[in-house]
Amino acid sequence: MTLTIDEAAQARTLTETAVRLTGVTKRFGKQTGTPVLDGIDLAVAPGEFVCLLGASGCGKSTLLNLIAGLDPVSSGSIEVSGGRAALMFQESALFPWLTAAGNIELALRLRGVDKARRRTEAERLLRLVRLEGAAKKRAHELSGGMRQRVALARALAQQAAVLLMDEPFAALDAITRDVLHGELTALWQETGVTVLFVTHNVREAVRLGQRVVMLSSRPGRVAREWRVDIPQPRRIEDADVAELAREITDELHREITRHGRVGVDKGASGHAS
Amino acid sequence: MPHDTAAHDTAARDTAARDTALPGAVAPGTAAGPAPVPAAADDGEQSLARLEAGLDALESAAVSDRRPWWRIVLSRLLPPAVALAAIVLVWDVLVWAHVRSGEIMLPGPGDVWNSLVAEWGPSRIGAAVWDSVYRAAIGFTASVLIGTVLGLLIARIAPLRAAVQPLLSGLQNLPSVAWVPIGIIWFGVSPATIYTVVLLGAVPSIAVGLIDGLDRVPPIYLRVGRNLGARGLDSVRFVLIPAALPGYVSGMKQGWAFAWRSLMAAELIAISPQLGPGVGQVMKFAQENLDLPLALGSIIIILIIGIGINQLFFAPLERRLLRTRGLSRS
Ligand SMILES: Nc1ncnc2c1ncn2[C@@H]1O[C@H](COP(=O)(O)OP(=O)(O)OP(=O)(O)O)[C@@H](O)[C@H]1O
Ligand SMILES: [Mg+2]
């Protein structure tokens, strides 16, 4: 299933975007009034690393689930190159009845990789996330960081050109997160996979992304975006990372404050009437 | 793509060194070809690897307790054996103290043992035990098949669930021996009656266990499965069944207890020469002959078989399932 470089280059010329969202709107069930997501337009280039930033509850996970095809859009359209995207969840969501290698092999199996190749391919992917020693371990025997690395290897095993990551490092301690940032950056550069990375940690977004896209809340819309021209390898403590993070944070605060004011106004008018 | 050159070169070198078949569709580093590797980038990679190795070692320090197997077996067998010995001792003392008061007859452990040994033999208790175990095995296997199909249907079909699930729970409350009179009226004193009672005892537990197991599958597993490409039967086989297995097995464990219990009750009530012997019949025979040691002996045999199957089969299976999923202590 692995594309050769030629095929990949060809695929790239055929579709210049890895992910294209056009007017994506999402309402849950019979929800009326403001939708969760409203008219999202977003194009992600092949091999690009885009961070999606937004306040809690603004619909980031919803958006990734839509792109992954796990939920239907209410209106608008989503195109994903290759037709599918691998999704990595916040909790590692490794299957607890399988070993680390077993989880990866299942992903390969469901992609139609034959049995003989599954073993070696799983070993290779575990080596890629530096967990060759943990093949026989089960999720509960691994630390949080190791679990997320196995989950990353499993997502890579899906061999999709697009990797969606939903706050994958949110539950980790700062040191482990730093290390995984380095590892993810290296992996992205090695594999050329397109990454759409959701977070509400502004510094993390600036540390990782080539582009940071901020969503507004209720309804979720693309509020603003920034190009990050700081060269990799970056560090989260770098001055230019901090500087841009500060600018984005200010903007995010403005965006969130705006809601507070709307809420207060509504509350006040509610009392008056 | 705007990667900086140092990392770009590292990527090219690594790609060449490891394996050319990388999972992503586009490999940006490979086109450039090998180039001199700046020492700084190499150091970065290596120090990252070392840092990570240190973290892994610190975070997964928990060493699993590996005792030799005989100590594990001993630790499981010894406490119940001691408890059993204590019970027999108390029993013996009680018998000895009461033996002359004569109000109620209580045979001692020795009497029971002698009676069992005397009545053993292919024509008597041995045959009865074999008969009962055989019936239990057939009845339980049939219950697992029926309970599984029923459980799957109820779990998948919402209207059926709304209609049948309360009845199923109600059926669990009804002692299945209550069906013996009806069974006898329908089928006479025949194996059909006995199997009906066993099935009605075990099927609800197994079905309810399976439904519970399926209900408690975290939805995220199903979503992960779908994203990995598991649809339809693949999703059932690779995600739903393994995820629901603990509930299913505990339903089977309870189903076995009910099957065995119902079988004994049915054998005690439905007695006929065509049915052949059974532990229940032996007990009835003991009652009719006022053979207290034999009646007590039958109870002990029933307990041993019931507990034995559980300890040898269901308990280890359940323990294993929970342990591999990290759901139990130790
Ligand atoms: N299945 C659902 N049915 C109804 N409403 C939902 C559903 N899933 C999410 N929502 C609503 O949609 C909104 C966005 O949820 P979502 O989980 O996408 O936010 P998020 O940006 O990922 O938040 P967080 O940062 O906390 O993860 C929330 O207001 C939530 O209540
Ligand atoms: Mg979320």
- At B64-103, the pLDDT tens digits run 556 777 887 787 778 878 988 898 888 888 877 776 555 6
Q: Give me the phi and psi of A22, to 5 degrees please.
A: -125, 115
Determine, yes or no, domain membership for A266.
Answer: no
User: Is residue B6's pLDDT more than 50?
Assistant: no
User: Is residue B157's pLDDT more than 50?
Assistant: yes
| Residue from B17, B4, B34 nearest A188 by CA | B4
Ligand 2 centroid–CA A52 distance in Å is 11
Mean pLDDT lowest among A209-218, A233-242, B63-72, B289-298 = B63-72
Determine, yes or no, domain membership for A270.
Answer: no
Q: What is the ipTM of this complex?
A: 0.83
User: Which pLDDT band, with edges at 50, 70 and 90, does A9 fall under?
Assistant: low
Distances (CA, A) of A122 to A95, A126, B97, B221: 15, 6, 70, 20
- Give the count of domains, chain B: 1
The number of C-beta contacts closer than 8 angstroms across A and B is 171
* Per-residue model confidence (pLDDT) at position A8: 53
User: Which pLDDT band, with edges at 50, 70 and 90, does A67 fall under?
Assistant: very high
Last residue of one domain, picked from the residues A140, A159, A178: A159
CATH number reported for the structural domain that contains residue A79 in this entry: 3.40.50.300
Distances (CA, A) of B287 to B104, B268, B280, B283, B298: 15, 10, 11, 6, 11
User: CB-CB: which of A93, A159, A210 is closest to B23?
Assistant: A159
Alpha helices in chain B (DSSP H): 5-18, 39-59, 69-98, 109-119, 125-156, 158-173, 180-187, 191-215, 219-228, 232-235, 241-269, 279-288, 292-309, 315-324
Encoded tokens for B294: 């034999």
User: Which pLDDT band, with edges at 50, 70 and 90, does A262 fall under?
Assistant: low
Determine, yes or no, domain membership for A269.
Answer: no
User: Which pLDDT band, with edges at 50, 70 and 90, does B13 fall under?
Assistant: very low
* Per-residue model confidence (pLDDT) at position B104: 64
Determine, yes or no, domain membership for A13.
Answer: yes
User: CB-CB: which of B11, B60, B64 is closest to A189?
Assistant: B11
Does residue A168 have its Cβ closer than 6 Å to ligand 1? no
Percentage of chain A exceeding pLDDT 90 = 26
With H, G, I as helix, E, B as strand and everything else as coil, classify residue B271: coil
Does residue A28 have its Cβ closer than 6 Å to ligand 1? yes
Encoded tokens for B286: 């003991």
In this complex, is the C-beta atom of A83 within 8 Å of any C-beta atom belonging to chain B?
no
Q: Tens digit of pLDDT for each residue in B36-67?
A: 444 445 566 777 778 877 777 777 655 555 67
* Per-residue model confidence (pLDDT) at position B10: 41
Determine, yes or no, domain membership for A10.
Answer: yes
Q: For residue A258, how many C-alpha atoms fall within 13 Å in the half-sphere facing its CB?
A: 12
User: CB-CB: which of A84, A161, A186 is closest to B45?
Assistant: A186
* Per-residue model confidence (pLDDT) at position A34: 79
Q: Tens digit of pLDDT for each residue in A162-188?
A: 999 999 988 888 888 888 898 899 889
Last residue of one domain, picked from the residues A142, A159, A176: A159
Determine, yes or no, domain membership for A71.
Answer: yes
Same domain? A189 vs A65: yes
Same domain? A72 vs A106: no
Same domain? A212 vs A77: yes
User: CB-CB: which of A82, A87, A139 is closest to B227?
Assistant: A87
Over residues B12-29, the mean pLDDT reads: 40
Determine, yes or no, domain membership for A264.
Answer: no
In this complex, is the C-beta atom of B106 within 8 Å of any C-beta atom belonging to chain A?
no
CATH number reported for the structural domain that contains residue B217 in this entry: 1.10.3720.10
> Residue A78: which residues within 8 A CB-CB, separation 6 or more?
A19, A20, A21, A22, A24, A66, A67
In this complex, is the C-beta atom of B220 within 8 Å of any C-beta atom belonging to chain A?
yes
Given a contact cutoff of 8 angstroms between Cβ atoms, the answer to whether B301 and B117 are in contact is: no
CB contacts of A46 in chain B (<8 Å) are: 25-26
User: Which pLDDT band, with edges at 50, 70 and 90, does A91 fall under?
Assistant: confident
Neighbouring-strand partners of residue A50: A196, A211
Does residue A61 have its Cβ closer than 6 Å to ligand 1? yes
Closest listed ligand to the CA of A65: 1
Q: Tens digit of pLDDT for each residue in B236-288?
A: 889 988 999 988 998 999 999 999 988 888 888 877 777 777 888 888 888 88
User: Which pLDDT band, with edges at 50, 70 and 90, does A130 fall under?
Assistant: confident
User: Which pLDDT band, with edges at 50, 70 and 90, does A65 fall under?
Assistant: very high
- Best probe of the B interface among A49, A167, A191, by most B CBs < 10 A, is A191
Does residue A54 have its Cβ closer than 6 Å to ligand 1? yes
Q: Give me the phi and psi of A128, to 5 degrees please.
A: -60, -35
Model pTM above 0.95? no
d(CA B176, CA B258): 9
- Give the count of domains, chain A: 2
In this complex, is the C-beta atom of A122 within 8 Å of any C-beta atom belonging to chain B?
no
Domain span at residue B226?
Answer: 129-324
CB contacts of B4 in chain A (<8 Å) are: 231-233
d(CA A20, CA A46): 11
Determine, yes or no, domain membership for B86.
Answer: no
Q: Which of A230-244, A259-273, B22-36 is predicted most confidently?
A: A230-244
Determine, yes or no, domain membership for A263.
Answer: no
Better pLDDT: B221 or B20? B221
Does residue A201 have its Cβ closer than 6 Å to ligand 1? no
Same domain? A131 vs A165: no
d(CA B106, CA B99): 8
* Per-residue model confidence (pLDDT) at position B18: 39
Same domain? A48 vs A167: yes
In this complex, is the C-beta atom of B24 within 8 Å of any C-beta atom belonging to chain A?
yes
Domain span at residue A197?
Answer: 2-85+161-258
Q: Give me the phi and psi of A194, to 5 degrees please.
A: -85, 130
Same domain? A172 vs A249: yes
For residue A136, what is the nearest residue in chain B, using CA coordinates? B324
Average pLDDT, chain A: 84
Does residue A65 have its Cβ closer than 6 Å to ligand 1? no
